[in-house]
Amino acid sequence: MQWHTDLPLIAILRGVTPPEAEAHVAAVLDAGFDAVEIPLNSPQWQESLPMLVKAFGERALIGAGTVLKPEQVDELAQMGCKLIVTPNIQPDVIKRAVGYGMTVCPGCATATEAFTAIEAGAQALKIFPSSAFGPDYIKALKAVLPPDIPVFAVGGVTPENLAVWLKAGCAGAGLGSDLYRAGQPVERTAAQAKAFVKAYREAVQ
């Protein structure tokens, strides 16, 4: 099983507001990203997500993060979201999202959690918080996981250290505060997005 987009980097725009969401998403997509996550603890996500799906749904995998309940998956499916990211392993959430044909990337830390997620149908795994575990931990965990399940590092990934996570066996990464912080100008988002894309391409060439 392979990741469903060309570039295995997920832009996490936590805290983005509806009036600015389109500009920031356009900036990351123009830089080369093709997967965007709006966490559900962002302001008025019920407005931002349908708007982003309508504007960019043909260009990118648009969806939500910090998804905790199956009912939220129902709401997101109605909006047209195609990506579900969670901070934890909740099999009912994973199964509901898979049932809608969504790409699911749940957050896990241990082998037990990872295999629980895979059994529920998750197509990818997010190791969170990666910075607390380190690349050696991920390398060890990867040794027991099915080789066709993409693993994403999330938490503490920067353009400078992205290559380290890829070398440890990660397919890619989810990029939060080092890509986008609430309230920052679009120019900053664009510059960081380009830096991450450049770092990824240099690491895998």
Q: Round to whole Å and give the CA distance between 60 and 35.
A: 5
Residue 29 CA, chain-centre distance (Å), reads 14
* Peptide bond just before 70 cis, omega within 30 deg: no
Q: Round to whole Å and give the CA distance between 70 and 91.
A: 9
Could you say which of 126, 142, 198, 202 is catalytic? 126
Q: Round to whole Å and give the CA distance between 193 and 197.
A: 6
Q: Round to whole Å and give the CA distance between 79 and 85.
A: 16
CB 95 within 8 A of CB 121: yes
Based on the residue annotation, tell me whether 75 is a catalytic residue of this protein: no
Q: Please give the torsion angle defined by the CA atoms of residues 162, 167, 173 and 175, in that order, rounded to the nearest 10 degrees.
A: -10
Could you say which of 20, 37, 58, 194 is catalytic? 37
Based on the residue annotation, tell me whether 37 is a catalytic residue of this protein: yes
Which structure tokens are listed for 78? 């109605």
Q: Tell me the catalytic residues.
A: 37, 126
